A and B are shown apart, each in its own frame.
Chain A
């Protein structure tokens, strides 16, 4: 079975500081990992995904994520946070043997001015 965990319900960071939103996963095969963002009253927007290749994946809006196989993690990062980055972030995983995505419960990111 596949699962994903986002250990933090909320992350607070000051504008201009680096941010990290954590995600760990569990799969039986090769992991395929995704990050989505949800702004208030909106659907989920795709940010980036890891399929294979470089462990550092770059995505939309200056976000990037680092795949770490030994730690089974896929943390989302951004060097300098913006107030407009405040939103709900979801990590998702797909096991090689499955076609459906399993989502984490989400992490609320709050960036203060």
Chain B
């Protein structure tokens, strides 16, 4: 599990705040992902980066802004969030570029609460 780290582990923010979530992978992988996990709902894929380029954006609101400066780091910038955005945000990485046999490895997540 230490292969993918996320900071902070917990975050409480107001709707007018701006904050960022950080993910770092130490596995030498080429693809990174952001997921949202809400209670009693399936995991929702938000963004996919392959070799530092965004390859998928699943209709995520613009108040979520990803950044991938290199293959080891992924950020999720947050601004003017809504209470319904409160969830566990999970980062994952995989060795390939999202190929069909690729296995994703997850970080511990950031528990976000929007007041």
A interface residues with partner B (beta carbon < 8 Å): 32, 34, 36, 41-46, 49, 51, 90, 94-96, 98-106
Contact = CB atoms under 8 A, between A and B. Distances in A.
Contacts of B81: none
Interface of B: 1, 4, 6, 40-43, 45, 48, 55-56, 90, 92, 97-109, 111
Given A41-B108, A104-B42, A105-B41, A46 B103 contact: yes
B1 A45 contact: yes
Contacts of B48: 99-100
| Chain B binding surface SS class | loop
Contacts, number: 59
Nearest to B105: A46
Nearest to B98: A99
Contact of B42 (A45, A99, A103): A103
Given A43-B92, A45-B1, 7 more contacts: A41-B108, A41-B111, A99-B56, A99-B102, A101-B104, A103-B43, A105-B40
Nearest to B97: A99
A44 B106 contact: yes
B1 A43 contact: yes
User: Which of A43, A49, A105 counts the most B-chain CB atoms under 10 A from its CB?
Assistant: A43
A100 to B, nearest CB: 6
A43 B100 contact: no
Nearest to A100: B45
Nearest to B45: A100
Contacts of A44: 43, 90, 92, 106
Contacts of A34: 103
B107 A43 contact: yes
Nearest to B109: A43
Given A43-B109, A45-B1, A100 B100 contact: no
Contact of A105 (B42, B104, B106, B107): B42
A48 B95 CA distance: 16
A100 B71 CA distance: 18
A44 B93 CA distance: 12
A43 B56 CA distance: 22
